[in-house]
Amino acid sequence: MKTIDKTKPVMITGATGYVAGWIVKKLLEDGITVHAAVRNPENKEKLKYLDEIAKNAPGQIKYFRADLLEMGSYDKATEGCELIFHTASPFKMQVKNAQTDLVDPALKGTRNVLESANRTGSIKRVVLTSSVAAIIGDAKDFLNLLNHTATEEYWNTTSSLKHQAYSYSKTLAEKEAWKIADAQDRWDLVVINPSFVLGPGVSPVNTSASFDIIKQIGDGTMKSGLPAFNFGMVDVRDIADAHMNAAFKPEAKGRHIVSASEHYLLELAQILKAKFGDAYPFPKKELPKIMVWLMAPFVGLKRKMVSNNYGYKWKLDNSKSKKELGIKYIPIETSVVEFFQQLVDAGVFKK
């Protein structure tokens, strides 16, 4: 069990990201000095939302240039730290080259950050942002699980470079993290496995896949209908709380599924329609499976992905996150409405 000294700085990778933004906010509000590792510390436009939080919080933020694929580039940022949050990893559903766009940054980046932890004698704990994608690949896979429910005991065994490459990248990266952690005994590893992330960001216009889906539900892109895809979903603020508790609770250990509830995409559209009425062209129905299957290649999806996910339900056991990390989940209805309202306020939807 490791106790982290809050007077020491904390290093976070991917500091400008969707999840990381909320973690940084909570650290700064807690009076902690944040070593924010970013690709370009000179890009003031990208850093302005974090700077704004730091200006009004007791903590301080210091930026360090680092890159997932540049070995040793995190060493400077980890100096003097006892704690590392490793959140940086690409989340893209459509890529040209799965190896270079997803697997290399996830796997080599994790190795890079954790080797910095090994070289920095003060590090006591690393909190890794993994994903439920490292636990389960396709929704169809739930049929093979005990009670058709995923727990932290399971690993994704069905994803590959050619099928569900993002899930494959998260699985490889987390396995690599455990391998490196188990090979030493100075610092311990605690892992957060979130489901599909929703909720307002620290930056009002994010570049996450979550942002893209919610935008398309409201801008007319999907007005003809939605595929019957089901996911576990969770508020970004709950994920940030899970990271904070994983970091500062000495007894925290192992993996943690962090997911509020499971929903079909159409349910999100129905929640938004109930709140915003006919002001936006929300989808009203689900598309037939055969149509989604036929159209898949034209919208950047694989037909195998459609076959293995359309109509199948997710079921995630979040009891460990409630019991050991004390998470009290924000209802997804609240998350999606506040997320959409933030996009409205940011002028994302042109009238």
Phi, psi of 67 (to 5 degrees): -140, 135
d(CA 211, CA 205): 8
pTM: 0.95
Cα angle value 72/102/260 (rounded, 5°) = 105
If DSSP codes are grouped into helix, strand and coil, which group holds residue 124? Answer: coil
Answer whether residue 318 is part of any domain. yes
pLDDT at 93: 57
Identify the burial level of 328 via C-beta atoms within 10 angstroms of its C-beta, where 0-12 means exposed, 13-18 middle and 19 or more buried: exposed
Q: Quick one: tokens of 196?
A: 């599909």
pLDDT at 203: 86
pLDDT at 259: 98
Q: Quick one: tokens of 45?
A: 């436009």
Report yes or no: 83 and 125 within 8 Å, Cβ to Cβ. yes
pLDDT at 207: 66
Q: Identify the H or E element spanning 215.
A: helix 209-218
Answer whether residue 3 is part of any domain. no
Please state the domain count of the chain: 1
Answer whether residue 351 is part of any domain. no
What's the one-letter identity of residue 135?
I
pLDDT at 301: 85
| CATH code (residue 137) | 3.40.50.720
Answer whether residue 286 is part of any domain. yes
Report yes or no: 225 and 134 within 8 Å, Cβ to Cβ. no
Domain carrying residue 248 = 10-344
pLDDT at 33: 97
Q: Rounded to a whole number, what is the largest CA-CA distance in the chain?
A: 58
pLDDT at 92: 59
pLDDT at 208: 76
Directed axis angle between helix 44-55 and helix 18-29, to 10°? 30
**Contacts (Cβ under 8 Å, ≥6 apart) of 6:** 30, 31, 32, 248
Strand partners for 233: 196, 261
**pLDDT by position in tens, the chain (length 351):** 789 899 999 999 999 999 999 999 999 999 999 999 999 998 888 899 999 999 999 999 999 999 999 999 999 999 999 999 999 876 655 667 888 888 898 999 999 999 999 999 999 999 999 999 999 999 999 999 999 999 999 999 999 999 999 999 999 999 999 999 999 999 999 999 999 999 999 987 766 788 889 999 999 999 999 999 999 999 999 999 999 999 999 999 999 999 999 999 999 999 999 999 999 999 999 999 999 999 988 888 899 999 999 999 999 999 999 999 999 999 999 999 999 999 999 988 875
d(CA 105, CA 166): 11
